[in-house]
Amino acid sequence: LVNSGSSANLLAFMTLTAAELGERQIKRGDEVITVACGFPTTVTPMLQYGAVPVFLDVTVPEYNIDVSRLEDALSEKTKAVMIAHTLGNPFNLEVIKKFCDKHHLWLIEDNCDALGSRYTIDGETRFTGTWGDIGTSSFYPPHHMTMGEGGAVYTNNPKLSRLILSFRDWGRDCICPSGHDNFCGHRFSGQYG
């Protein structure tokens, strides 16, 4: 959990900049496919970390990414696709997931406007936000489930989960449970510089 959906998007993107990801790490100048018509905090994490958003148009009246242009947006520098499901209307996850798998791209699903939406691919139905590598949600009042404030970042990938927790705790997460600073006595036992 984090303080907002905006922070959830920032944390999700920040996770993919980790050196632990090797060749898949997103670095300055790498490209991320997104939409031209969307919420600003889906795009601002890319800019904050020096990535280059590659904007695709949306279809009307769905206001989701025009998947017919995905291959045109792809370049040697493309590392990820980060887009939101618009107003509870899932984008074409089947096409985008296959595109990301084919080109070894990360998929971040901004699920802040689609909590509870479902999508079926090849007979398997799952909640939106769980098809990609990382999903995000917001609990701000205009969204589906509100706590006044708050957000969440989630993944099924153990390595990404560990990185998410570490980044959320300002890199202080070691082998201790979250919120227990140096409970294990190993927090300062390594040389990291």
Give the model's pLDDT for residue 148. Answer: 78
Q: What is the pLDDT along the chain (193 residues), one digit of tens a residue?
A: 999 999 999 999 999 999 999 999 999 999 999 998 988 999 999 999 999 999 999 999 999 999 999 999 999 999 999 999 998 899 999 999 999 999 999 999 999 999 999 999 999 999 999 999 999 999 976 666 767 789 999 999 999 999 999 888 776 655 566 666 666 666 666 655 4
* Other CB atoms within 10 Å distance of the CB of residue 132: 25
Give the model's pLDDT for residue 193. Answer: 45
144: annotated active-site residue? no
CATH, domain range 5-168: 3.40.640.10
Asked if residue 110 lies in contact with residue 131, where contact means CB atoms within 8 angstroms, the answer is no
Residue 91 phi/psi, 5-degree rounding, is -70, 170
Q: Catalytic: which of 143, 144, 180, 186?
A: 143
- Cis upstream peptide for 61 (omega within 30°): yes
Find the farthest-apart pair of alpha carbons in the chain and give their distance in angstroms, rounded: 56
Residue 99 phi/psi, 5-degree rounding, is -60, -50
Token look-up 């040389």 returns 191
Q: Spell out the domain ranges in the chain.
A: 5-168
Q: Which residues partner with 112 through β-bridges?
A: none
159 contacts: CB under 8 Å, gap ≥ 6: 20, 21
Asked if residue 154 lies in contact with residue 9, where contact means CB atoms within 8 angstroms, the answer is no
Taking CB atoms within 8 Å and a gap of at least 24, the contacts of 180-184 are none
- Give CA torsion, residues 10, 13, 14, 16, to 10 deg: 170
